[in-house]
């Protein structure tokens, strides 16, 4: 997989309260990923970018919310997130990414 595709697949970490709880309890990290990314592509991207061993990847699509404003109804875009479980003893430090 080329380096350009790696950066297209992983859009960034998803920071939320649930993501922090999952990271502490299960050694999992949550990422926003491209809608067309597969589990294998996500696994290879995380392994290549962060130099860690990935055990499991679970993905889900988050449906965009409908909001009402003065112009009528608008819809936020649908996006995809991935729960990435790392091997025992592995961790990702987002502060030291090259």
- At 19-49, the pLDDT tens digits run 999 989 999 999 999 999 999 999 999 999 9
Domain of residue 43 covers: 3-90
Q: Answer whether residue 98 is part of any domain.
A: no
Residue in the structure block whose two tokens are 């061993």: 53
First to last CA, the chain: 19
For residue 63, is it within any domain? yes
Split into its structural domains, the chain has a count of 1
The dihedral formed by the CA atoms of 19, 94, 81 and 72, expressed in degrees to the nearest 10: 90
The CATH number that applies at residue 69 is 3.30.70.330
By percentage, how much of the chain surpasses pLDDT 70?
97
Give domain status of residue 97, yes or no.
no
* Euclidean distance between CA atoms 42 and 83, whole angstroms: 10
- 48 within some domain: yes
Residue 74 domain-assigned (yes or no): yes
């Amino acid at each position: 997989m080329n380096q350009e595709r790696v950066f297209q697949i992983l859009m960034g970490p998803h920071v939320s309260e649930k993501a922090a709880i999952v990271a502490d309890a299960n050694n999992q990290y949550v990422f926003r990923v491209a809608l067309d990314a597969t589990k294998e592509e996500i696994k290879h991207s995380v392994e290549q970018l962060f130099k860690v061993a990935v055990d499991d990847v679970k993905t889900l699509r988050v449906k965009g919310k409908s909001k009402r404003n003065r112009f009528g109804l608008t819809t936020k875009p649908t996006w995809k997130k991935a729960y990435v479980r790392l091997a025992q003893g592995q961790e990702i430090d987002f502060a030291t990414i090259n």
